């Protein structure tokens, strides 16, 4: 078949969907039946007509998913920009990417992706300049790349690796153990772990991990997760012989994370309760084994954040926001019973994002208007230097041990892919280690930071990135992204997908709205519980700013966000459907009355509150819940909801119910679609191939809505 005939046939096949997208946008959606389900909250009756979609295993739900995907993918295939976008995304993704290296036992470890590999490969080398050896290639674990590495941990002697694998994006982890010298797995296998890392004892004989009881297979992706336990696994023994280190039968919602101190003397136990940054902090001395000594409740109340940083002898160091909302560093001498914490590094004007204790020094990463500043202090808290960064962006890493002479970090920005650098702890010298090369010129793009006022007068920062030569004529297709929750700061980072959007002529904007960690705990709390509307107001004000300053206009403005950001997009779409031409809520929390009833949803109550706790909280949640504020007959913008069938973080029922309700209510001609990824989860570990496909669909959908053009019929 000739290439021209092949293209003609492809064009002919795409033409019906193309015309549906352009000339007949009132799509025919699959039927979403309504059932007579009514729930009562504090005397208030609330219909839930799409409750049946919560049963992900039913034949009826599976049929609905298949039918919805049929409509969505037919629409997307008909968009003229999709194939070109996919081709360019594939071309740009094809570059070498490295993680930040670290050392254990005189060896270096890091991950690398040659370009289009679905999963990153773990390498090891005696020296960074040596030819590295493949330690683990997750791409060999599944042909389609849907088995991924959750995390890995190397023993102090550098001889053994514990690594966790996740299947189809699920949060459930299976731990395995590999010999570094032979690159062969040992017999160890640990199941039912979740939200856990692995921390080795100093002798390398075993590690600590967190797990739940064995789940019921039929409901493992939906059932609520309670009663996490902390375990110790001795290498070479079956899981049935693992030692239970700590549990609390009286506290179903306590979670445990165990970290062994560098000297192997302490097991520090972080006790969390949901996703609140406030936590308890216990420890156990490891003299005599993992359970020989009693657990000491050092910080028995969750009155602040307490993050273990390191230790010198009996003195433990912590990053905390106790009496310091932008955080500080304190020391506690455990040899003195009841000793009060001593401040080492006081609270600064900037938010203290992370601290590591390496080579006898504290390396402190601060956020200054959402960009990194890295300062160095000695063990007494005296400032002794600053790590010079390549520009304005985000620095992460700085791992190492108390006796290390070097550490490594990664630096990235909106127009610079993540590069790795070595920091010499003796001289302060910074030298590049891995610097990827992408087929684009960073000098062709601009990132500016602006500040705008929200509804209540609060000043909010926003990054705006675009290709040089952009004119403020109000006609630029613009993608506004936000998150606004769980104490997470959205800082500058490089994305091939965002680069392709800007290369095509789009503007990429990130609003650093309240609810995150850009300015410490006060900024976070200002966007939680009954202050959540601040988050939506901040995001709406960001859109109004972009329009007022003529970066774009309402007809060319689209919004997006994932998870808590999906909730943001859903709520704002309901509140201001006139301000945006398109919305892409991804894996969003859309049912604010029932989110706590699935998997780990109960843990979000610290940020959201719960419909069950009081009439006031119920009314507040219902006032903005995306599912419950859709109004029939409203002309909503173009909406493409995205979710995944194996998402056991925010179960797909949130998106299913929201999409069904929005399709039924749409009073305009703009499409309302739902794109449901199969064999995929909340996002972590997603294969490169799926990342490219989803990005191509997202940009094609948005470009169709924000930069409309007449179809070119062959």
Contacts of residue 245, defined as CB under 8 A and 6 or more positions apart, other chains included, come to: 208, 229, 230, 231, 232, 258, 267, 284, 290, 291
Q: How far apart are CA 32 and CA 657, in angstroms?
A: 9
Return the structure tokens found at 201. Answer: 């004892």
Note the helical H segments in 504-640: 521-525, 533-548, 564-575, 605-608, 615-624
User: What is the average pLDDT score of the chain?
Assistant: 92
Q: How far apart are CA 80 and CA 708, in angstroms?
A: 11
pLDDT at 143: 81
Nearest to 461 by CA among 397, 510, 398: 510
Q: How far apart are CA 294 and CA 311, in angstroms?
A: 19
Strands (E), 235-389: 243-246, 254-260, 266-273, 280-285, 296-299, 306-312, 315-320, 328-333, 342-345, 351-358, 361-368, 371-378, 383-387
Do 363 and 356 touch, CB atoms closer than 8 A? yes
DSSP 30: P
Indicate the helix (H) or strand (E) that contains 82.
helix 82-93
pLDDT at 289: 94
DSSP string, 684-706: TT--HHHHHHHHHHHHHHHHHHH
pLDDT at 712: 31
Give the pTM: 0.89
State how far the alpha carbon of 254 is from the alpha carbons of 222, 246, 250, in Å: 19, 11, 9
Contacts of residue 337, defined as CB under 8 A and 6 or more positions apart, other chains included, come to: none
In the numeric block, the tokens 């006032």 are attached to 623
Q: How far apart are CA 135 and CA 434, in angstroms?
A: 19
Topology, domain 26-91+441-706 = Rossmann fold (3.40.50)
Nearest to 286 by CA among 160, 202, 161, 162: 202
Question: How many Å separate Cα 156 from the centre of its chain?
Answer: 29
Do 466 and 434 touch, CB atoms closer than 8 A? no
Gyration radius of the chain over CA positions = 26
pLDDT at 13: 27
Q: How far apart are CA 701 and CA 618, in angstroms?
A: 35
pLDDT at 631: 98
Q: How far apart are CA 503 and CA 507, in angstroms?
A: 9
DSSP string, 88-104: HHHHHH-S-EEPPPEEE
The bridge status of strand 582-586 relative to strand 557-562 is parallel
DSSP 554: G
- Counting as low any pLDDT under 70, the low residues of the chain are 1-26, 169, 218-222, 646-647, 679-685, 708-714
In the numeric block, the tokens 């800082």 are attached to 491
Task: Find the distance separating the first CA and the last CA of the chain, reported in whole Å.
Answer: 18
pLDDT at 678: 78
Three-class DSSP category at 370 = coil
Nearest to 636 by CA among 570, 709, 698, 563: 570
State how far the alpha carbon of 132 is from the alpha carbons of 112, 121, 125, 180, 526, in Å: 10, 11, 5, 12, 47
Q: Where are the domains of the chain?
A: 26-91+441-706, 349-439
Do 150 and 176 touch, CB atoms closer than 8 A? no
In the numeric block, the tokens 């979000």 are attached to 604
DSSP 117: -
What's the pLDDT tens digit per position in 542-571? 999 999 999 999 999 999 999 999 999 999
In the numeric block, the tokens 């789009």 are attached to 506
pLDDT at 684: 59
Return the structure tokens found at 656. Answer: 């299913």
Return the structure tokens found at 621. Answer: 């949640």
Residues annotated as catalytic are 563, 682
* 3-state DSSP helix/strand/coil % of the chain, to nearest 5: 25, 35, 45
DSSP 56: T
DSSP 213: P
């Amino acid at each position: 078949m000739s290439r021209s005939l092949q293209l003609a046939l492809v064009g002919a096949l795409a033409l019906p969907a193309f015309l549906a997208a352009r000339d007949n946008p009132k799509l025919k959606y699959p039927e979403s039946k309504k059932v007579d389900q009514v729930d009562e909250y504090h005397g208030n009756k609330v219909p839930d007509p799409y409750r049946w979609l919560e049963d992900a295993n039913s034949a009826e739900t599976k049929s609905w998913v298949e039918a919805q995907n049929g409509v969505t993918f037919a629409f997307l295939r008909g968009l003229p920009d999709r194939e070109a976008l996919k081709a360019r995304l594939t071309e740009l993704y094809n570059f070498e990417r490295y993680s930040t290296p670290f050392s254990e036992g005189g060896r270096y470890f890091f991950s690398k992706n040659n370009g289009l590999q679905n999963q990153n490969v773990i390498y090891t080398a005696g020296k960074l300049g040596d030819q590295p050896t493949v330690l683990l290639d997750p791409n060999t674990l599944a042909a389609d790349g849907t088995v991924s590495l959750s995390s890995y941990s190397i023993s102090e002697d550098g001889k053994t690796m514990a690594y966790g694998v996740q299947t189809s994006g699920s949060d459930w982890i299976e731990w395995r153990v590999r010999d570094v010298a032979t690159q062969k797995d040992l017999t160890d296998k640990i199941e039912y772990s979740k939200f856990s890392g692995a921390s080795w004892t100093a002798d390398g004989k075993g590690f600590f991990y967190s797990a739940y009881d064995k789940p019921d297979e039929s409901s493992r992706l939906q059932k609520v997760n309670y009663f996490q336990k902390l375990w110790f696994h001795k290498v070479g023994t079956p899981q049935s012989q693992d030692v239970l280190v700590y549990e609390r039968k009286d506290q179903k919602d306590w979670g445990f994370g165990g970290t062994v101190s560098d000297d192997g003397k302490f097991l520090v136990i972080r006790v969390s309760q949901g996703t609140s940054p406030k936590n308890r902090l216990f420890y156990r001395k490891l003299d005599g084994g993992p359970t020989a000594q009693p657990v000491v409740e050092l910080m028995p109340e969750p009155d602040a954040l307490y993050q273990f940083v390191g230790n010198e002898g009996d003195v433990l160091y912590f990053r905390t926001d106790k009496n310091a909302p932008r955080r500080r560093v304190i020391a506690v001498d455990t040899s003195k019973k009841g000793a009060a914490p001593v401040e080492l590094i006081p609270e600064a004007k900037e938010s203290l994002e992370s601290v590591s204790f390496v080579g006898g020094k504290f390396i402190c990463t601060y956020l200054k208007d959402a960009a990194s500043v890295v300062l160095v202090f000695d063990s007494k808290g005296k400032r002794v230097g600053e790590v010079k960064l390549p520009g304005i962006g985000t620095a992460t890493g700085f791992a190492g041990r108390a006796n290390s002479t070097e550490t490594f970090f990664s630096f990235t920005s909106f127009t610079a892919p993540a590069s790795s650098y070595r920091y010499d702890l003796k001289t302060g010298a910074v030298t590049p280690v891995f610097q990827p090369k992408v087929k684009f010129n960073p000098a062709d793009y601009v990132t500016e930071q602006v500040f705008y006022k929200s509804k209540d007068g609060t000043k909010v920062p926003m990054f705006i990135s675009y290709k040089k030569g952009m004119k403020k004529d109000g006609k630029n297709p613009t993608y506004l992204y936000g998150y606004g929750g769980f104490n997470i700061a959205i800082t500058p980072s490089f994305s091939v997908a965002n680069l392709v959007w800007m290369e095509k002529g789009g503007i990429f904007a990130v609003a650093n709205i309240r609810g995150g960690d850009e300015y410490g705990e006060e900024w976070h709390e200002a966007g939680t519980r009954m202050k959540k509307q601040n988050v939506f107001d901040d995001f709406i004000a960001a859109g109004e700013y972009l329009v007022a300053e003529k970066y774009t206009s309402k007809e060319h403005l689209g919004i997006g966000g994932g998870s808590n950001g999906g909730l943001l997009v859903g709520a704002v779409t309901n509140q201001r459907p006139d301000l945006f031409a398109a919305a892409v809520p991804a894996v969003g929390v859309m049912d604010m009355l029932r989110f706590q009833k699935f998997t780990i949803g109960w843990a979000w109550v610290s940020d959201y509150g719960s419909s069950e706790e009081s009439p006031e909280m119920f009314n507040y949640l219902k006032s903005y819940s995306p599912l419950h504020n859709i109004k029939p007959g409203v002309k909503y913008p173009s909406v493409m909801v995205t979710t995944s069938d194996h998402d056991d973080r925010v179960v797909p029922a949130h998106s299913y119910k929201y999409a069904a309700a929005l399709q039924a209510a749409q009073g305009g001609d703009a499409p309302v679609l739902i794109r449901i990824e199969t064999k995929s989860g909340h996002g972590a570990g997603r294969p490169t191939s799926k990342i490219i496909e989803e990005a191509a669909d997202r940009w094609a959908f948005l470009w169709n809505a924000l930069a409309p053009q007449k179809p070119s019929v062959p």
